[in-house]
Structure 1
Amino acid sequence: MKVRFCFSAEQLKNIALVSMVIDHAAVGLIEQSELASGAAWSLCGTAMRLVGRVAFPLFAFMIAEGAVHTRDRRRYALRLLLLAVISEIPFDLVAGGTWLFPVDQNTVFTLLLGLLAVWVGDLICGTGSGVSYGNREKTGDSGRKAVGQRRFPLEYERYIRVLAAVPFGLAAYYLKTDYGFMGVLLIVILYTLRTEPQFRTAVCIVFLFCMYMDFYGAAACVAIFLINRYNGEKGGGNGRIFYLFYPLHLLVIRGIKMAVGL
């Protein structure tokens, strides 16, 4: 049966960006202002936060896909680290209304830790695009490095990858990054089950409900529906727009709040 519509990576990323802006606007303009005391505005904020639950699973999926397709994971990780550091003050201004908000660190730190967890899982299991052959690199027709030899049976490899992610999840928990331990595990799950879409769907739905433990989990599951419509294509546009967009949209939200006196 032919799928009537599908999304490229660029389209999924754009959906995630719109969802993220709506979510952060709800936090910065409603929850962090006197508007939150009004019933109508409070309801509006809740609706916007529901829309915003779609963003993180999509970004987690983009990290999982990026881990597969990037030519240099070191540069990929360094770009995420730089973005996380640059974005922390704008994030604190929106999330906590102050220059320093140690209770919550921005989401990019979680994405970075998820990428590192995936990378370490590849190295332990001996498979994946994060595995190289030392000085003797093998390349296929695409010019990409070939994967290593699987060290564990597939049914065990899944658990090993999750266990390998635990230190990075704990780092997210203790550093108080947005989405924390569960956010890191979601990235690893999306990466590990990327070739098993039906199993991935079932696991992710259960995982997201456990992650939120309320109706926000149902909203987040919309992202899984979108991910299942991914066509495997990059799509047009600038693939690195997120690196500029993320801190700028936070500064814009903060500027709007100051301009209207919220």
Structure 2
Amino acid sequence: MRGVSSFTLKVVAIVGMTFNHACYIFYPYLPAEALLLLFGFGGLTFPIMAFLLVEGYHHTSNIKRYAGRLLAFALVSQVPYGLFLAHNLNVLFTLLIGLGILYLYDTMESRGGFWLAAAALVTASALCDWGIIGPLMILMMRAIPDRRQRIVLPLLVPILGNGLPALSDYMAAFDPALLPFALYPLLGCTATIPLLLAYNGSRGRPMKWLFYAYYPAHILVLGLAKGLLLGDWTLGL
């Protein structure tokens, strides 16, 4: 079967995530060229994760077990994430909120009640990685009926909301340090579009647990490496 399987998408997401977090953790020690490349590639990760969350929601036989798995690994991951990356909540909490919105979208009879609940959950996601943009992208990937549009339009949210303002800041200050933050959504999210359009609906190799386990493990390894090798135990960028 031609096209891209969910296994391939997960591998791309894992590589991009590793590059992105390496940038944040080792930011003061990396040359500008490396930051541009790694940040740009890292921008592929969340759109792929959001897309696969929607796919997983459609195919799961037990939504409670799916949510419980996300919650368990979100809690475990918060320890290395809080130690080495940031003080907000990690991206698995963002995905969990997105999953809740998907469930409410399909089960609540009152559209008004749904939008109130969704607004509350989106507001709560401001405490998480990717902020309110994450759940909005997830909802759009479910609610937009046209297949091509439900891939392209959600990716315009981080491009317009984060990428273009960051590029404007870079051009105004002409500070090379700002350019990686513009390329993260501009290059990464744009490059994600053909990947997701090529998705063929197949699972590929099964790796249900690998991504969940890899997420906290790679943050811990990167953080410990910076501390042990460089003597720097400060929080990431």
Is the pair's TM-score, using the shorter chain for normalization, greater than 0.5?
yes
How far did residue 260 of structure 1 move? 1.6
Please identify runs of 4+ aligned residues in structure 1 that moved more than 4 A.
159-164
Taking structure 2 as the reference length, what is the TM-score of the superposition?
0.81
1:171 counterpart = 2:168: no
Note the 1:32-47 alignment, pairs <5 A: 34-35=28-29, 41-47=31-37
Judge conservation of contact 1:118–1:165 (CA < 8 Å) in 2. no
Judge conservation of contact 1:8–1:230 (CA < 8 Å) in 2. yes
Query: Could you list the per-position Cα deviations for residues 207-245 of structure 1 after superposition, in whole angstroms to 9, with x for gaps in the alignment?
Result: 232231334332212112211110011111322211211
Greater helix fraction, Structure 1 or Structure 2 = 2
Question: Per the alignment, in what secondary structure is the counterpart of residue 202 of structure 2?
Answer: coil
Bigger CA drift: 221-230 or 202-211? 202-211
How far did residue 69 of structure 1 move? 0.4
Name the residue aligned to 1:26: 23
Q: Which residue identity lines up with residue 37 of structure 2 in the other structure?
A: A
Sequence identity of aligned pairs in percent? 28
Note the 1:175-194 alignment, pairs <5 A: 176-193=127-144
Question: Per the alignment, in what secondary structure is the counterpart of residue 237 of structure 1?
Answer: coil
CA pair 252-229 structure 1, distance change in 2 beyond 3 A: same
CA pair 56-242 structure 1, distance change in 2 beyond 3 A: same
Judge conservation of contact 1:10–1:234 (CA < 8 Å) in 2. yes
Name the residue aligned to 1:253: 222
How far did residue 163 of structure 1 move? 6.0
1:120 counterpart = 2:104: yes
1:200 counterpart = 2:200: no
The answer for unaligned runs of 5 or more in structure 1 is 126-150, 152-156
Q: Which residue identity lines up with residue 56 of structure 1 in the other structure?
A: F
Taking structure 1 as the reference length, what is the TM-score of the superposition?
0.74
Judge conservation of contact 2:89–2:128 (CA < 8 Å) in 1. yes
Judge conservation of contact 1:121–1:161 (CA < 8 Å) in 2. yes
Distance 1:111 1:239 in 2: 15
Judge conservation of contact 2:101–2:139 (CA < 8 Å) in 1. yes
How far did residue 201 of structure 1 move? 3.7
Q: Which has the larger radius of gyration?
A: 1
Name the residue aligned to 1:140: none
Distance 1:202 1:108 in 2: 23
